[in-house]
Structure 1
Amino acid sequence: MKKNLDKFLQATLVLSLALSCLTLGLHLIDDYDFLWHLKTGEMIVKQGPPLVDFYSFRAEGREWIDAQWLFQVIIYLVYRFSGFAGESFLLAVLVCAIFLLLLKLCWLKEFYPLSVFLCLIAVWSVSFRFNLRPELFTYLLMMAYLLILERNRKQFTLAIYLLPFLQLLWANLEGLWPIGLVLIGAYGIEEFLFNYLSRYKQLSKWLEPGSWQKFGKILFVFFLCTLMSMVTPYLWRGFIFPFHLLIEVTHPSNLVKSIILDNKPVFPMWFKFPFLAVPLLVLLIVSGASFFLNRKPRPAFIMLWLAFLFISLSARRNVPYICFLAVFISCFNFQNSLASRFSSSDSPDKSVLKFLPAIFSFVLLIFFIASVLTGKFYVWDKTARKFGTGFYFEKYPKDAVEFLKKIGWKDRLYNQLAMGGFLIWEGYPEWRIYIDGRLEVYGDELLKLSLDSMADYELFKEDEQKYGFTAVLVWKGERRVIPLTENLLADPTWALVFSDPISMVFLKDTPAQHQLVEQYRLNRVRSIP
């Protein structure tokens, strides 16, 4: 009877984690970069991975190393067969798979409710990154790597030879594939230290024994994975691209880091997001404290925890990595400590430690479901998402785009950064855009000009003369565009032809467009919402 009850509790807790993931993962796709990824997937299916830019009239012909090309193909095929609703379901399934693998990785046999509870805390902390982006596959592969490496650490397994094939997949899915090499390298260094340092009697008391044979095989797998990382459409240039990008992004004067919210350091910015800061702090404190409970420290864990703590605190977008590791490391460190302390199965403290996390887990499940369905969760975390399936078109200038299509306009279009992906999806190849989210293609110089041109009308006019764009689509969701809007309204060579609560369209009064301008020109005062 007791055994059956325990199995029921296990199944219920696992189901609670899965339902939490599905609830938070199932929302309208709202990422600004998603649509250019989707359009690129369509182009790759037709003509192969891109080598140079063809979307923007400013960056046309520049080298484009599309490190996410396989991800783009996957989401395009999903869209082709199941539309935008299928994309939402794919997102939910990926989130669920990531955390179920994490749970398998950190499962505590006697105290499994604690494992589930910590995973749910991680779900809460990581939820702001639940977007259908290439990094989801990085999370998934990170869990797979840790599962294989942990299994091999306990006893050599042939599964370790799957890593080079997974590395090949990773290198073509996302540019963060060096994380795979970091994980393998940390386990390899650990095996080396166990073998070398355990020779000393004073150290052998607190170090686990190692195996030179396992170290040699890990070293061989690391070498194979490094080679596999070069097997992409971009070969050696694709191999060095992530490292080049890392150097640029981490540079103190990097413009991307200063304007993109997710690239900014966690502290002190995270205090503006207390709803997400609380679970993160819980995981950091618990995982840090857990090291003091394990009398035999794992060098790999110390190295990985410190390394990912640094990169996670350096940029908000990297927070998930330390959250995953915090859960895994905490459970591993708790395992031996709790087993030795609660050796008696009848200990009342053991029952409390088992059932209290279970109760908290069910409370979190109810909280997630209730707050998501009422929309409050997405108010508190400031993502403004909507539960459901499909794409969140309401936040985009859909009517403005339909207007341009209706009048048959086809040319170069000035736009803001956030709208680039949407305009690529809606208008390519008839339209060429000014800028989009592929910042590595544009570089700091063009990115800075795109921002400055909204505030400095002289720069805007210089770009107009240089590139010859004949339409401007203004998205009102960005305050920095106000000066440009006022200047366009005051400039007789530009005409306001469309306006609604979220967007405005201006056409250049050129000989080729004069008839359109006269036909659709709006009363400037009366038509602005």
Structure 2
Amino acid sequence: MKLFNRFPAIIHHDDSTTAPSLDASLPARKWETILFSTVLIWTFLGLCFPMYDTDFWWHLKTGQSILAGNGIPGLDLYTFTDADKPWIDLHWGFQVLVAILYAIGGVPLVTLVKAGVVTAAVAIGWRACGNELPAWKKSLVWIFPIICIAGRGNERPEMLSQLFLAMWLWIAWRSEKQPDWMWWLPVLQIIWVNCHALFVLGLIVGFSYAVDAVIRTRWGGRFGLEPRTDGPPLGAVFVVAVLVALACLINPYFEEGALFPLTLYRKFSVEKEFYRQNIGEFRPPIDFVMQFGLSNLFVISELIVWLVTAASFVWLLVKKGRWSPYRLILFAGYSHLAWQASRNTNIFALVSAVIACQNFAAAEVIRSVSVAGSTAGDRPHQTGKRVKLAQGMTGLFVILTGLVVSGVWNQIGEKNKPFGLGEAPNWFIHDAAKFAGRDGFPMRAFVAHIGQAEVYVYHNGPLRKVFMDARLEVCTQQTFELYNGILAAMAAGDPIWQNLFREGEPPVVILDSRSSRPAINGMLQNPTWRLVFADKTGAVFLHIDTATRLSLPPVDPSPLMYPDGEPKEKSRGK
């Protein structure tokens, strides 16, 4: 049997994805196209909100460094605590991309491209569900997954991972009718492994597909399994699996890069108790439910996504007596990731939407009569109903889009995603970081929180270094614990933390005004440290000897009091 075939053309007509179902007339197809467009418009605009993500700045800095000819990093560049530690930076492809986009159009362009990439992932995921399910039903299934996706729609490498994951799902679906498409998977994997450590998500899809192929080849037609009459031969499946595995090695770090996802997985599994206490995105969704109840739109949406997808398996089993090993393994695997850490919500939602639609589509009652054999009154009735339902769902998504643009949607959600572009106001410590990088200032910095350390890195690295930043692939748990201890000592006014910096000049201390207020209060009471800069975003402290050497007097700390502006009571003179 011939295993290797030519690669299919990228542009290829396929009746399985374009042909209408038996009762879909031209008006129905037109309205379903309009509905699909409104879903994508809502998705895109819902992803257009000011940037809050602090990780963007170290990604940007590294991308600019690579474009400047400094190469892909192999050792840590930005901290003085882990300066000699290997740094596996699989994000370098993403970093080069954002550096180019930033040079052309700044943060607004990066945000627009992010919105476009994630919307493309939704569009591809939609297509991976086939056409058996009417568009109005598809759109109903996709509402809550899109809410989850937008809830974590940040300018991070995840945006590319969502696109690549959707492509994996689409190729896996399409390969059932056109096996040649699966030969694109190794190529896709080479690109993915050089953009984000979550390339392993594609391997989960491939593993699920291969297990399904073996099970249905051996037991298809029994135990509720669909007979495997289509799809690539098993030999070809395993050859592609080997090529995909080898493709993961094609990265600057070879086998260390290919195995790197295990390091990240350990942090939110084996070491999860520590990280979930210190990093919000490592907390499982159940923690947010226990703490805040069901008041968060995005947590509620994730629960609904899980319930709907689980119900789709039951529905298929009841209606057809069938179940899919491929979809069941996928659902179990991605549910595990989702309930381990909230940072996986978006990828879980994307996969679950595809799974649910495929299950519901498989459960659809297929008419056995042809178009020519249908009764004169039956087809117009079905077409009219389908048109009205598509029109109704289109109206719903138009309303949802209006809520996004008007700002009402932001009020319903977490109130941190208003419609717009650019940076979130008074969020990043740009001015404090620039001030702390002036000539004569210490070359080392202690910055809190660790996300804001990335802003300092962007403006001053790699020449000037920080104690710790948010790159958990570099900083160890021990460093993190020491960082927490320093913050606690600062807040308590305990000078013992200064013993860590006996060698050389004491570092400049930069504390953000939102998350580090106890430490700021403690430092203001410390006579050996002087506040030399303060604005709504952060405070800069220098040791009294350094401040005296630089002739920097103490400054007024009042801007730190109200980072979001003065309270209404004060502004009214009360």
Normalised by the length of structure 1, the TM-score is 0.90
Please state whether the residue corresponding to 2:445 is helix, strand or coil. Answer: strand
Q: How does 1:108-257 map to 2 (within 5 A)?
A: 108-109=131-132, 111-153=134-176, 155-198=177-220, 202-203=222-223, 206-210=225-229, 214-252=233-271, 254-257=273-276
Cα deviation for residue 248 of structure 1 reads 3.3
Please state whether the residue corresponding to 2:510 is helix, strand or coil. Answer: strand
Determine the C-alpha separation between the residues in 1 that align with 2:151 and 2:548. 47
Cα deviation for residue 163 of structure 1 reads 0.4
Q: 1:281 aligns with which of 303, 318, 332?
A: 303
Determine the C-alpha separation between the residues in 2 that align with 1:528 and 1:23. 34
Identical columns (%) = 21
* Preserved contact between residue 35 and residue 394 of structure 2 (Cα < 8 Å): yes
Cα deviation for residue 465 of structure 1 reads 2.2
- 1:375 match: 407
Matched, 1:24 2:46: yes
* Preserved contact between residue 52 and residue 62 of structure 1 (Cα < 8 Å): yes
Q: How does 1:410-421 map to 2 (within 5 A)?
A: 411-416=443-448, 417-421=450-454
Determine the C-alpha separation between the residues in 2 that align with 1:526 and 1:328. 49
Determine the C-alpha separation between the residues in 2 that align with 1:246 and 1:407. 41
Cα deviation for residue 82 of structure 1 reads 2.1
- 1:315 match: 341
Cα deviation for residue 187 of structure 1 reads 0.8
- 1:472 match: 509
Q: Please, which runs of 5 or more residues in structure 2 have no aligned partner?
A: 1-23, 563-574
Cα deviation for residue 253 of structure 1 reads 5.2
* Preserved contact between residue 120 and residue 364 of structure 1 (Cα < 8 Å): no
Q: In the alignment, residue 374 of structure 1 is paired with which amino acid?
A: S
Determine the C-alpha separation between the residues in 1 that align with 2:535 and 2:259. 45
Please state whether the residue corresponding to 1:173 is helix, strand or coil. Answer: coil
| Greater share of helix | 1
Q: In the alignment, residue 322 of structure 2 is paired with which amino acid?
A: K
Determine the C-alpha separation between the residues in 2 that align with 1:298 and 1:24. 33
Query: Cα–Cα, structure 1 residues 234 and 265, in superposed 2: closer, same or farther, change >3 Å?
Result: same
Determine the C-alpha separation between the residues in 2 that align with 1:464 and 1:473. 15
- 1:521 match: 554
1:296-348 residue CA offsets vs partner (Å, 9 max, x unmatched): 21111111111111211121111223322222222222224323489875596
Q: In the alignment, residue 362 of structure 1 is paired with which amino acid?
A: G
Cα deviation for residue 145 of structure 1 reads 1.0
- 1:434 match: 467
Determine the C-alpha separation between the residues in 1 that align with 2:417 and 2:138. 28
* Preserved contact between residue 34 and residue 133 of structure 1 (Cα < 8 Å): yes
Query: Cα–Cα, structure 1 residues 121 and 348, in superposed 2: closer, same or farther, change >3 Å?
Result: farther
Q: 2:353 aligns with which of 327, 334, 342?
A: 327
* Preserved contact between residue 216 and residue 225 of structure 2 (Cα < 8 Å): no
Cα deviation for residue 349 of structure 1 reads 8.1
Determine the C-alpha separation between the residues in 2 that align with 1:429 and 1:252. 29
Cα deviation for residue 41 of structure 1 reads 0.6
Q: 2:531 aligns with which of 496, 511, 518?
A: 496
- 1:392 match: 424
Q: How does 1:261-280 map to 2 (within 5 A)?
A: 261-270=280-289, 271=293, 273-280=295-302
1:90-113 residue CA offsets vs partner (Å, 9 max, x unmatched): 111112101111111124346122
Q: In the alignment, residue 390 of structure 1 is paired with which amino acid?
A: G
Q: How does 1:286-301 map to 2 (within 5 A)?
A: 286-294=308-316, 295-301=321-327
CA-based RMSD = 2.8
Please state whether the residue corresponding to 1:505 is helix, strand or coil. Answer: strand
* Preserved contact between residue 108 and residue 331 of structure 1 (Cα < 8 Å): no
1:16-67 residue CA offsets vs partner (Å, 9 max, x unmatched): 0121122111222221101111001111222111011121122212111112
Determine the C-alpha separation between the residues in 2 that align with 1:323 and 1:519. 52
Cα deviation for residue 462 of structure 1 reads 2.4
Q: 1:506 aligns with which of 520, 527, 541?
A: 541
Query: Cα–Cα, structure 1 residues 413 and 109, in superposed 2: closer, same or farther, change >3 Å?
Result: same
Query: Cα–Cα, structure 1 residues 358 and 130, in superposed 2: closer, same or farther, change >3 Å?
Result: farther
- Larger deviation: 162-171 or 397-406? 397-406
Query: Cα–Cα, structure 1 residues 213 and 475, in superposed 2: closer, same or farther, change >3 Å?
Result: closer
- 1:260 match: 279
Cα deviation for residue 225 of structure 1 reads 0.7
* Preserved contact between residue 411 and residue 469 of structure 1 (Cα < 8 Å): no
Query: Cα–Cα, structure 1 residues 340 and 521, in superposed 2: closer, same or farther, change >3 Å?
Result: same
Please state whether the residue corresponding to 1:291 is helix, strand or coil. Answer: helix
Cα deviation for residue 521 of structure 1 reads 2.2
Cα deviation for residue 361 of structure 1 reads 4.6
- 1:462 match: 499
Query: Cα–Cα, structure 1 residues 410 and 342, in superposed 2: closer, same or farther, change >3 Å?
Result: farther
Determine the C-alpha separation between the residues in 1 that align with 2:250 and 2:187. 11
* Preserved contact between residue 493 and residue 509 of structure 1 (Cα < 8 Å): yes
Please state whether the residue corresponding to 1:148 is helix, strand or coil. Answer: helix
Determine the C-alpha separation between the residues in 1 that align with 2:457 and 2:216. 53
